[in-house]
Amino acid sequence: MTAAEPSAAAPVTVVTGANSGIGRATAVHLAAHGHTVYGTVRATAKTDKLLAMADQAGVEVRLVELDVADDDSVRRGFEQILDAAGRVDHLVNNAGVGGNGVAEESSPALYLDVMNVNLCGAVRCLQAVLPQMRGRGSGTIVNITSIAGRIAAVAQQPYVASKWAFEGMSEGLAQELAPFGIRVAIVEPGVTKSAIFAKSIDAPNATGAYDAPYRRMFQFYAAGLAQATDPFEVGEVVRHAIETDEPQLRYQVSWGGAELVEGRARMDDQEWVAMGALTDDGHYYRRFHEHFALDIAPR
């Protein structure tokens, strides 16, 4: 690292998956609010947009090459950060991948690949920072899950499974770390402007039996992307979760976030299953609007 040593007064914050979308916006936003930010990326040679955004904001995001899916890469990356900064005050576990598919058509290998990034990647990173956080008796772990960690988004079984697992791990982690003065915050974005949606276009439908779930999944995202939230709004929620004097465990943000969580909480399980049994798309979209106050019907 050629960058100057971080100020002792500035919090040192690591944002994983900082090269695009929510991670990029969060890294730049925190840097603009006085954090010394280390952004992890899989390849520092492909960070032109991140560096340009940081330059435009007049801030620095210090790049660290790190693949959250690999034990040795995570170990080397955090050794580099701790050698340069001396500590990590806050970790934002943002790195993640999508994973489309209904259960019948999603291989165990796909589940494991998605889980390795979305769950195990976060575990690798928090294990790298928690010993020194415990030693100081302070710190924050912000886990960016998804609204799909609270409601089973149709035809995205590997992604949903990974995010539900990430939610459960995070909830348990909050109790485990409370005695050490370390805060855990779970940020649950709905549909946010991000490259992950452009990359998540798989609809295998290998059996030909699942036209409706795939069609409805893509229609939900088409409607959401038309109203998608700026990722800097997620960055501001992350900053608030770190800095607030009145912390809470979970934060919903972005299009559909609160509506989906609250709507599912009002539904009983029979209503949930019955909605999936609807054969007519128009009827499905109307019922979706009744439960969640979100209009996802095609225009």
Active site amino acids: 159
Instruction: Locate 121 and state its tokens.
Output: 């990647």
CB-CB contact of 126 with 160 (8 Å):
no
Give residue 137's identity as a one-letter amino acid code: G
User: Residue 198: CB partners within 8 Å, gap ≥ 6?
Assistant: none
Strands, E, within 42-116: which ranges? 61-65, 90-93
User: Residue 193: CB partners within 8 Å, gap ≥ 6?
Assistant: 21, 225, 228, 229, 230, 231
Instruction: Locate 281 and state its tokens.
Output: 């798309």
Separation between Cα atoms, residue 126 and residue 185, nearest integer Å: 13
3-state helix, strand and coil shares in percent for the chain, rounded to the nearest 5: 55, 15, 30
Separation between Cα atoms, residue 267 and residue 256, nearest integer Å: 16
Separation between Cα atoms, residue 92 and residue 6, nearest integer Å: 18
Q: Give the three-state DSSP class for 260.
A: helix
